Amino acid sequence: MTRSLIYSLSFHAVLVLLTILSLPFMIRQPVDLPPIISVELIQISDDTNIPFAPKARKVIEKVKEEEKRVVSEQAPPAAKAKEKPDRIPLPKEQDEKKKLIKKKQNPEEIKPEIRQASEFEKKEIIDTNQIAALIDKAKEESAKVEKSEKKLTQSSIKNSFASGLTLSEEDALRAQIFGCWTVPLGLPYDDDLLVRIKLELKQDGTISKSEILDHERMNRPGQKFYKILAESALRAVRICQPLRVPQTGYKKWKDIQLNFNPTEMLKG
Amino acid sequence: MKKIFYILTIFLFKFNIAYSLIEVDITRGNLDPLPIAVSPLHVDLQSDNYQDVKIKELGELISSVVEKNFRSTGLFNPLNKDAFVQKPDIAHLKPRFEDWSLITAQALVTGKLLIKDEKLKIEFRLWDVAANKEMIALAFTTTPSNWRRVAHIISDKIYERLTGETGYFDTRIIYVSETGPRTQRVKKLAIMDQDGENTKYLTLGNELVLTPRFNPTNQLVTYLSYFRNLPRVYLLDIETGIQEVVGNFPGMTFAQDFRLMEKK
């Protein structure tokens, strides 16, 4: 009796085991869930943008002042330099000139060197007007180059640190408006056609208030093209609603100014 | 007391955070033609019938002329009329701007016409769909047969308002039309609108006509024609059809033209 019971039990057990193994739904594996990647949304504009540090501003102002100084120093007497066209500066003189550039403010310091020269040479060298003119010319050229270079960097610095948006956020907004703005063709491109629109935005990017900053110019006679451009810009902003603004930092971009300038595009 | 002072100073600093105004420079835009919806003109039910002008179709015809003019410029993209939701009569009073902006229209033209006492009165309005406002509204009165000219003038006004440049649609072209086989060419003096419609023949084609020229200030045309194999210069008034001979010029080979005389 007991033996048969054991047989039966073991047989049944084997059967149950086979059933479990063979039926697919019994061995269903748990869904393989990928691990959750946590993403933290942070405001990076504070870290990526050059801060409103007074230091940075000081540096820029300093550069600006220097630029002004260099420009104002430019002396016009180029005609004087032409008085002795046969005179070619020797390499030694050129060296001197380089030194002179550095110490231009007080030319007295170079006197000892001149004293060593012969009486004839002295006459020529002491013709400071000519040298000054040459130096100024050289300076003028270098200043021009410097000026154009600095302008570039300055504007880029200004862009990134004057705005509370990161570059990518700004680009997103810009790209959106590029798509909406149908530029009225046939505008005269030599005119100053900068339209500045100040917007007050809601949290979702829709516009609660829009204002053209030079709106009185629109109704002035002879400003027909400006009016048309301003209208097209305003239309673009309205069509683009809601604007692609960042999720955070509402206070920063609540008020925003858009400068529409088609000159670059019209010139091609 | 000190504590309150500290708290106050902290608050003062906290609320003092001021953000500078964000400036974004937009230096590019798209060069796509401006989507414009030209709604058919609403025909007033009180209109009389006038000769062979089909009054019921006139609204559609005028709007299609305006549409064709805009399409030819390449600066505008007139939208398909099938997409229009609002009826012309209601749209002319006050358009539902939401409906028009749904079909991506940025500008909308609506109008109304009425023929009364043998006079055709056409009024139209141009709407800025994005700004929800009217941009220009004008009315013209003319003889009903002159409707095509009015359609061109309307096109001019809208074009000027949207681009800043004066329109050129109200222009006529004078030319010499040639028909018939090569050996027996018939040359007639003809005039047409700038869109190629409304052709009128000014001469019968019996004589050879050459070099028609418009007077830049009025509706006079001068042309050279051979009368009994002698070249003659004619002056023709398009409005009245009166033709006069300026003179016989035997052996004339050059083209006559109008010149503005300087006052001395």
Task: Kindly report the nearest CA distance between residue B29 and chain A, in angstroms.
Answer: 4
Average pLDDT value for residue range B164-171: 89
Residue of A184, A235, A265 with shortest CB distance to B164: A184
Question: Are B148 and B51 in a shared domain?
Answer: yes
**How many structural domains comprise chain B?**
2
Quick check: A235 contacting B, CB < 8 Å?
A: yes
B24 within domain boundaries: no
pLDDT at position B78 over 50:
yes
Does a structural domain hold residue B244?
A: yes
Do B142 and B188 share a domain, yes or no?
Answer: no
A61 vs A229, B18, B259, CA distance in Å?
Answer: 34, 22, 62
Q: CATH number of the domain that B92 lies in?
A: 3.40.50.10070
Looking at chain A, the domain(s) classified CATH 3.30.1150 span: 165-267
Residues constituting chain B: 264
Do B181 and B152 have their domain in common? Answer: no
Cβ-based contacts under 8 A for chains A and B: 110
Contact indicator for B194, B156 with CB cutoff of 8 Å: no
B39 and B130 housed in the same domain = yes
CA distance A255 to A253: 5
Of A227, A235, A257, the CB nearest to B23: A257
Same domain, B130 and B65: yes
pLDDT of A150 above 50: no
Q: B172 Cβ partners below 8 Å, 6+ apart?
A: B191, B192, B193, B194
Q: Which of A47-61, A157-171, A183-197, B103-117 is predicted most confidently?
A: B103-117
Q: Is residue A81 scored above 50 in pLDDT?
A: no
Evaluate if residue A215 carries a pLDDT over 80.
Answer: yes
What's the pLDDT tens digit per position in A218-252?
888 888 888 888 999 999 998 888 888 888 888 88
Instruction: Tell me the C-alpha distance between B61 and B58, whole Å.
Output: 5
Tens digit of each residue's pLDDT (9 = 90 or more) over A112-134: 444 454 555 555 555 667 766 76
Establish if B40 belongs to a structural domain: yes
Same domain, residue pair B194 and B136: no
In this prediction, residues B30-44 reach a mean pLDDT of: 90
What is the average per-residue pLDDT within A192-198? 88
| A133 part of contact set with chain B, CB < 8 Å | no
Provide the pLDDT for residue A187: 80
Please give the share of chain B, as a percent, with pLDDT higher than 70: 91
Domain span including residue B39 = 34-163
Give the one of B22, B27, B34 whose C-beta lies nearest to A164's C-beta: B22
B137 and B194 fall within a common domain: no
Kindly report the backbone phi and psi dihedral angles of residue A175, in degrees, each rounded to the nearest multiple of 5, phi listed first. -60, -35
User: With bands split at pLDDT 50, 70 and 90, how would you rate the model's confidence at A145?
Assistant: low
Q: What are the tens digits of pLDDT across the range A7-48?
A: 999 999 999 988 887 776 666 666 777 788 888 777 666 666
User: pTM for this structure?
Assistant: 0.64
* Interface touch A170/B30, C-beta < 8 Å: no
Residue B79 has pLDDT above 50, yes or no: yes
Could you give phi then psi for residue A231, rounded to 5 degrees?
-65, -40
Q: Closest Cα to residue A79, out of A137, A13, A15?
A: A137
Same domain, B198 and B238: yes
Question: Closest partner residue to A224 among B31, B106, B164, by Cβ?
Answer: B164
What is the predicted pLDDT for the residue at A154? 41
Residue B200 lies in a domain: yes
The confidence band for A156, taking pLDDT boundaries of 50, 70 and 90, is very low
Among B142, B163, B184, identify where a domain stops. B163
Tell me the shortest Cα–Cα distance from B153 to chain A, in angstroms: 19
Structure tokens at B180: 């018939």
CATH (one of 3.40.30, 3.30.1360, 3.40.1130, 3.30.1150) for A165-267 = 3.30.1150
Q: Which residues of B touch A (CB under 8 A)?
A: 19-34, 75, 101, 106, 128, 130-131, 162-165
Residue B88 covered by a domain: yes
Q: Are residues B104 and B178 in the same domain?
A: no
Residues A160-177: what's their mean pLDDT?
77
Q: Considering only alpha carbons, which residue of chain B is nearest residue A253?
A: B22
Query: What is chain B's mean pLDDT, rounded?
Result: 85
**Within this chain, do residues B153 and B198 fall inside the same structural domain, yes or no?**
no
Q: Is the CB of residue A187 less than 8 Å away from at least one CB of chain B? A: yes
* Kind of pairing between the strands at B186-193 and B200-201: antiparallel
Please indicate whether residue B21 or residue B109 has the higher confidence score (pLDDT).
Answer: B109
Q: Tell me the Ramachandran region of residue B51: left when phi exceeds 0, alpha when psi lies from -120 to 50, beta otherwise.
A: left
- B241 & B183 share domain: yes
